[in-house]
Structure 1
Amino acid sequence: MVCRFHKQHLLHGEHRLPEVIRPITRGYRFDLLPFKLWPRQMGLQTDGSTFLLEGVPFRILGGSMHYFRVPREYWQDRMLKMKACGLNTLTTYVAWNMHEAAKGIYDFTGNLDLGAFLRIAEEVGLWVILRPGPYICAEWDFGGLPSWLLRDKKMKLRTTYPGFTAAVDAYFDHLIPTVLELQYKKGGPIIAVQVENEYGAYAKDSNYMEYVKTALLKRGIVEMLMTSDSKDGLSSGSLEGVLATVNFQKKENFLFSYLETLQSNMPKMVMEYWTGWFDQWGSDHHVYDADQMVRTVAEILNEGASINFYMFHGGTNFGFMNGATHFKEYLPHITSYDYDAPLTEAGEYTSKYHKLREILATIQGDQLPMPPIIMPKASYEMVTMTHYVSLWDVLHFTGEPYACDEPVNMENLPVNDGNGQSYGYTLYETLVYGGGVLNTMGNVLDRARIFINNQAMGIVDRNNHEVFIPEVPGYRKMRFLVENCGRVNYGTKLDEQRKGIVGDVVLRENPLRTFKIYSLDMNMTFIKSLNTAQWSSPPDDHEGPAFFRGTLNVHFTNLDTFLSMKGWKKGVVFVNGQNLGRYWDIGPQETLFVPGTWLRPGSNEIIIFEEFEGGQTLRSVDAPFLGRPYYVQ
């Protein structure tokens, strides 16, 4: 590796690039690759409106990519594509709910090996801005917070409430040591660390941000600290001695001047320049015009500001990890986190990538590395669903149900060694006499199918609370198959979102009592246990809720592919035990991304949990369909 300092002069004469780009090439360029032998003493600093890295003027050209949304085998490929686009910095959140899924049990292995992720960034030649939270938003379930926090009925998230700070302290005691030696001054790639995330929009505790800052410092963080907020949260989210940065998609003229009033004569940085947008179930696929993006990026760079592209590569909300929004109404996010970013969900180049590369090449001066070759995508043969088993026939694989008089919410169930249930479905079972109007009182979250003696009666959700139960004399078994569709990741009501049945439901205005509750988190252990189930050939009506099984045959190389879910209604797909995520025929997403690294040559097991009525076949296709485009304004 080499160290290079050189003066980059503005060329005269013919230019192929827009006039607005030319001024940004004036000044010094710093192109120091991560290099253990270089004396690391000063790190990232500020000198008036300029960043300095080891005393040399430096501009952050960053891109966001989250290790927990991308298979480990693809980390290096995506980073090389960042580098080839002209980026010099990688930013990533750290997902607390993945690293401490159960209280006191920490996982930094496999796809959660944060240290390995950061070392790959260093090898590729990217600096790192680490965004450790504890809250991250990110359109990720619960904004990255672990659901077991909600077992405390008095919990006050993102405040100095002792129950929350004790949990954060324990987590940071394990997280921070994994990154200490990867800081710039220790010879690693981390040049800055973010304090929490967009706290100005929450701002429930004036002491909280100082607490997080101190928690980082006293555990050995020595690099520059930053905050990150949208325009409405800048003033209440900033901290003394911490660089404030701003998030936006459209550059409003007053933003940088407003930032200047908060911290005069400091570098301007857009921590999140939103390259696209996320999607919710039942909406269209949001896209953001590439030319409009380029014009805004040029404006930002022309003002001498640093920038981080959020997202540069979005990836996938595998499993049940999608978040949700809840402003006027609750809207869960889809499985794909493509984000209309410069790199697609499967890591392919877009027009945004090429346009950004042209701009950033003017700043980097030297010829950029050639972008890595895109691996082809596969369209494998049709999968026929050859086996079927009803959900009712595999409930025993969940263990003994929990018996209680009143319904208990998902997070407070006495399962998973006292951690409650975090994700998936929960089945509530009780006996009822007769019929009448069933009213959930809004206490079923987020949605449920209602069954009487295994016969479907209807669906309840946040908006539809009533189902009519036909009158029949005698007792019958009533079941609520409740789905946690994803916890809200942003807003001021994070504390108020326990899942399952969270209060009374009434039949003929009488509260139901005496429940058996089955935890259906559908983790890998449960899916593997289905190997011993009594599978049969699918019946003609393909009625759910049920599991369907088939085989995807890979005759040659195992390449990335997409599963088309046309002909299926709502459920989850597992490939070789890995949870690809949810599908839903209300769209916009119609395909699920299957990483080739999760496949193997030969036979690959496909298991689909279908809530309603399953299809007979499943198509593997070589291109995604994420829905009808809707242009973000």
Structure 2
Amino acid sequence: MTLEGLRADSSQFTLEGEPFRILGGSVHYFRVPRSYWEDRLLKMKACGLNTLTTYVPWNLHEPERGMFNFQNQLDLKAYVSLAAEVGLRVILRPGPYICAEWDLGGLPSWLLRDDGMRLRTTYPGFAEAVNLYFDKLISIIKPLMFEEGGPIIAVQVENEYGSYAKDDTYMPFIKDCLCSRGIKELLITSDNWAGLRNGGTAGVLKTINLQRLTFRAIQYLTFMQPNKPLMVTEYWSGWFDVWGDLHHVFPAEDMLGIVSEILNKGASINLYMFHGGTNFGFMNGASDFNTYKPQVTSYDYDAPLSEAGDYTQKYQLLRNLFHQYHSQPLPEGPPPQERNAYNPVVIQQHLSLWDALHFIDAPYRSDRPVNMENLPVNNDNGQSYGYTLYETTITSGGTLNSKNNIRDRALVFVDRKWVGNLDRKTHKLMLPDGEGTRTLSLLVENCGRVNFGKNLDSQRKGIVGDILLNRSPLRGFTTFCLEMKPDFIKSLMTSDQWKSDLTSTSTPGFYQATLCVEGLPRDTFIKLTGWGKGVVFVNGQNLGRYWFIGPQHFLYLPGPWLQGGENQIIVFEEQKMDNKILFAENPDYERTIDVYKFPFCTLL
């Protein structure tokens, strides 16, 4: 017998023929250590929510064209099945574009190897890639649909396309990608109020994303879609942070008042985020509203559950509110995770970047500089993340001019001595004079591809055009891909070339320390006081980036990634190192700002 799934045939959702109000929350499996999936979902259930929503990041699941990964941390089937075991329904948001403050909005960077690529359109190169990806993805998720006894009650068609809307045939194409592969559950779209008019497609329920009930947003949705259920698919419970700004917060009482008002209007709601988690590795996105600003490693989002899964005041207020919508008492949630402020550890060994280059695959030689995505590496899929080192020779000093072709920051060296930085604001640098032929090195960091807006097609990284010295373009480049993948870090960890003489350290370089854990490993936060900018690896796991400019000054280290006994910490530091690494039980965001004062919110 076919189960009657979620229906939107009147002003109220029905599920199995009975009225059903979605009380949802977003928790992204790819931002939460797998060991903690159950903890976070049980806490969601205990808060009174009945539905989990999650994005699906294409760039993680297909890191190289045709090479798919749905295992371990990326086991989507296991995550959705776990939600069912906990007693949650699921709304799946498979994209292919997800935004999510995630690199390139979840789209794989290898798409940008095509110079003519037009992302989020029916451009043949994009449409073909989407079809092949959906062939794989939907073969995995289809058995999890409600009609087949699974927990997925709705599937989103793309994401916030009304803010993009470059191709009238695109949304029907994505809808067909789902339906032609057997997806029969309710289809929805989600857009902010300004995108509602252009973001939908026939036969798909429109829903809205918001934080403030301004511009009569709910009324506008009702006008566009009479006699249909109202749903806020993204109610922004907080906001994300960018490097160099303050930590954004959204007062709990303000949030509660608006959530209550939404529910009083009879609408369904999904809290984005219920638990934000972490942008581990190099996966953060970036904002670019006239100024490029990469997002931080933490995705705490000032959400009801903190980055480390703590209950917050928002959680308690929401639990008190949501219990009114249940006929039975809410279950108790799991106890809070214990944490440990481990004793400081000292740096024991170091290895300069230059001495580590032989651990990288053979360099690529070209006349002109080649952007990351078009480098002939990773089975001709290019380089996606991390740093790229470009080297050439010069015979004079003078004015180095990037012509704004650096994406996104470059440390500049002459004969491996640092002489300055270039970035999106600083395009010129004076190089010192010297005798003979010298080596010019530019260590370029991809700080994160923009995840929202209409310029996704231009998110190529590395050096994207000519670099001039005294108005003449430089030629003859040797390029090293410093992606810092697990195999590279493993090679470092087992190398016998580390130097223990700390009086001769040089940056950029790698710095090694050992954390000894007695008893059961606990969550902790790493603080790199006195360090500059770089990346931290613990037992080979990339915890993400740090940067002294804040607002984030602590990196979350999950206990399951530690082991009893010795744990190896490797820090890649660009310019300024200290001799120790500190730990804390809790992060400190220092200065904060109310999200309502954040200019971006005025656009939504």
Query: Normalising by the residue count of structure 2, what TM-score does the alignment of the two structures yield?
Result: 0.98
Unaligned runs of 5+ in 1: 1-38
How many angstroms does 1:159 deviate by?
0.1
Corresponding residue for 1:596? 559
How many angstroms does 1:46 deviate by?
2.0
Give matches, 1:377-392, under 5 Å: 377-392=339-354
Give matches, 1:241-252, under 5 Å: 241-252=203-214
Corresponding residue for 1:188? 150
Give matches, 1:130-149, under 5 Å: 130-149=92-111
The answer to whether the 8 A contact 2:349-2:502 is kept is: no
The answer to whether the 8 A contact 1:587-1:627 is kept is: no
CA shift digits 1:115-150 (9 cap, x unpaired): 000000000000000000000000000000000000
Q: Take 1:260 and 1:266, find their aligned partners in 2: how far apart are those partners?
A: 8
Structure 1 ranges of 4+ moved more than 6 A = none
CA shift digits 1:365-398 (9 cap, x unpaired): 3110012101211111211110001000010111
How many angstroms does 1:112 deviate by?
0.3
How many angstroms does 1:538 deviate by?
4.7
Give matches, 1:100-115, under 5 Å: 100-115=62-77
How many angstroms does 1:567 deviate by?
1.1
Corresponding residue for 1:543? 506
Task: Determine helix, strand or coil for the equivalent of 1:279.
Answer: coil
Corresponding residue for 1:401? 363
Match of residue 609, structure 1, among 554, 572, 576: 572
Q: Take 1:620 and 1:296, find their aligned partners in 2: how far apart are those partners?
A: 37
How many angstroms does 1:540 deviate by?
2.9
Alignment RMSD (CA, Å): 0.9
Q: Take 2:511 and 2:433, find their aligned partners in 1: how far apart are those partners?
A: 33
Q: Take 1:632 and 1:67, find their aligned partners in 2: how far apart are those partners?
A: 25
Corresponding residue for 2:526? 563
Corresponding residue for 1:261? 223
Give matches, 1:42-53, under 5 Å: 42-53=4-15
Corresponding residue for 2:516? 553
Larger Rg: 1
Q: Take 2:501 and 2:572, find their aligned partners in 1: how far apart are those partners?
A: 13
The answer to whether the 8 A contact 2:118-2:126 is kept is: yes
How many angstroms does 1:253 deviate by?
5.6
Farther-moved stretch of structure 1 (264-273 vs 540-549)? 540-549
How many angstroms does 1:539 deviate by?
3.0
Farther-moved stretch of structure 1 (112-121 vs 559-568)? 559-568
Q: Is residue 450 from structure 1 mapped to residue 419 from structure 2 by the alignment?
A: no
Give matches, 1:321-400, under 5 Å: 321-400=283-362
CA shift digits 1:276-298 (9 cap, x unpaired): 00000001100000000000001
Q: Take 1:150 and 1:202, find their aligned partners in 2: how far apart are those partners?
A: 18
Q: Take 2:441 and 2:197, find their aligned partners in 1: how far apart are those partners?
A: 50
Task: Determine helix, strand or coil for the equivalent of 2:458.
Answer: coil
Task: Determine helix, strand or coil for the equivalent of 1:312.
Answer: strand
Corresponding residue for 1:240? 202
Q: Take 1:119 and 1:386, find their aligned partners in 2: how far apart are those partners?
A: 44
- Structure 2: which amino acid aligns with 1:433? T
CA shift digits 1:333-376 (9 cap, x unpaired): 00000000000000000000000000000011311001210121
Q: Take 2:283 and 2:537, find their aligned partners in 1: how far apart are those partners?
A: 14
The answer to whether the 8 A contact 2:309-2:337 is kept is: no
Q: Take 1:626 and 1:155, find their aligned partners in 2: how far apart are those partners?
A: 40
Match of residue 432, structure 1, among 388, 391, 394: 394
Q: Take 2:168 and 2:534, find their aligned partners in 1: how far apart are those partners?
A: 42
- Structure 2: which amino acid aligns with 1:598? W
Task: Determine helix, strand or coil for the equivalent of 1:121.
Answer: helix
Q: Take 2:575 and 2:178, find their aligned partners in 1: how far apart are those partners?
A: 48
The answer to whether the 8 A contact 1:543-1:613 is kept is: no
Corresponding residue for 1:624? 587
- Structure 1: which amino acid aligns with 2:276? G
- Structure 2: which amino acid aligns with 1:613? K
Corresponding residue for 1:316? 278
Task: Determine helix, strand or coil for the equivalent of 2:555.
Answer: strand
Q: Is residue 221 from structure 1 mapped to residue 183 from structure 2 by the alignment?
A: yes
Match of residue 488, structure 1, among 450, 454, 462: 450
- Structure 1: which amino acid aligns with 2:566? S
- Structure 2: which amino acid aligns with 1:309? L
Corresponding residue for 2:600? none
Q: Take 1:328 and 1:453, find their aligned partners in 2: how far apart are those partners?
A: 35
Task: Determine helix, strand or coil for the equivalent of 2:328.
Answer: coil
CA shift digits 1:496-553 (9 cap, x unpaired): 1100001000011110000000000000100111122511125336431000000011
Corresponding residue for 2:599? none
Corresponding residue for 1:119? 81
Q: Take 1:94 and 1:488, find their aligned partners in 2: how far apart are those partners?
A: 18
The answer to whether the 8 A contact 2:103-2:450 is kept is: yes
Q: Take 1:613 and 1:240, find their aligned partners in 2: how far apart are those partners?
A: 56
Task: Determine helix, strand or coil for the equivalent of 2:181.
Answer: coil
How many angstroms does 1:615 deviate by?
0.8
Query: Normalising by the residue count of structure 1, what TM-score does the alignment of the two structures yield?
Result: 0.93
- Structure 2: which amino acid aligns with 1:292? D
Q: Take 1:173 and 1:466, find their aligned partners in 2: how far apart are those partners?
A: 48
The answer to whether the 8 A contact 2:96-2:130 is kept is: yes
Q: Take 1:268 and 1:49, find their aligned partners in 2: how far apart are those partners?
A: 7
Farther-moved stretch of structure 1 (534-543 vs 503-512)? 534-543
The answer to whether the 8 A contact 1:567-1:615 is kept is: yes
The answer to whether the 8 A contact 2:211-2:237 is kept is: yes
Corresponding residue for 1:585? 548
Q: Is residue 275 from structure 1 mapped to residue 237 from structure 2 by the alignment?
A: yes
Farther-moved stretch of structure 1 (392-401 vs 205-214)? 392-401
Q: Take 2:291 and 2:340, find their aligned partners in 1: how far apart are those partners?
A: 38
Farther-moved stretch of structure 1 (455-464 vs 535-544)? 535-544
The percentage of aligned residue pairs carrying the same residue is 56
Task: Determine helix, strand or coil for the equivalent of 1:380.
Answer: coil
How many angstroms does 1:40 deviate by?
4.5
Task: Determine helix, strand or coil for the equivalent of 1:142.
Answer: helix
Farther-moved stretch of structure 1 (618-627 vs 345-354)? 618-627
Corresponding residue for 1:23? none
Q: Take 2:563 and 2:294, find their aligned partners in 1: how far apart are those partners?
A: 32
Q: Is residue 159 from structure 1 mapped to residue 132 from structure 2 by the alignment?
A: no
- Structure 1: which amino acid aligns with 2:79? F
Corresponding residue for 2:32? 70
How many angstroms does 1:41 deviate by?
2.5
Corresponding residue for 1:299? 261
Q: Take 1:46 and 1:140, find their aligned partners in 2: how far apart are those partners?
A: 31
The answer to whether the 8 A contact 1:547-1:607 is kept is: yes
Q: Take 2:2 and 2:238, find their aligned partners in 1: how far apart are those partners?
A: 36
Q: Take 1:339 and 1:565, find their aligned partners in 2: how far apart are those partners?
A: 22
The answer to whether the 8 A contact 1:201-1:237 is kept is: yes
- Structure 1: which amino acid aligns with 2:330? L
CA shift digits 1:77-106 (9 cap, x unpaired): 000000000000000000000000011000
How many angstroms does 1:433 deviate by?
0.8
- Structure 1: which amino acid aligns with 2:69? D
Task: Determine helix, strand or coil for the equivalent of 1:571.
Answer: strand
Q: Take 1:220 and 1:394, find their aligned partners in 2: how far apart are those partners?
A: 50
Task: Determine helix, strand or coil for the equivalent of 2:83.
Answer: helix
Farther-moved stretch of structure 1 (62-71 vs 43-52)? 43-52
The answer to whether the 8 A contact 1:40-1:184 is kept is: no
Q: Take 1:118 and 1:399, find their aligned partners in 2: how far apart are those partners?
A: 38
Task: Determine helix, strand or coil for the equivalent of 2:520.
Answer: coil
Farther-moved stretch of structure 1 (255-264 vs 199-208)? 255-264
How many angstroms does 1:473 deviate by?
2.9
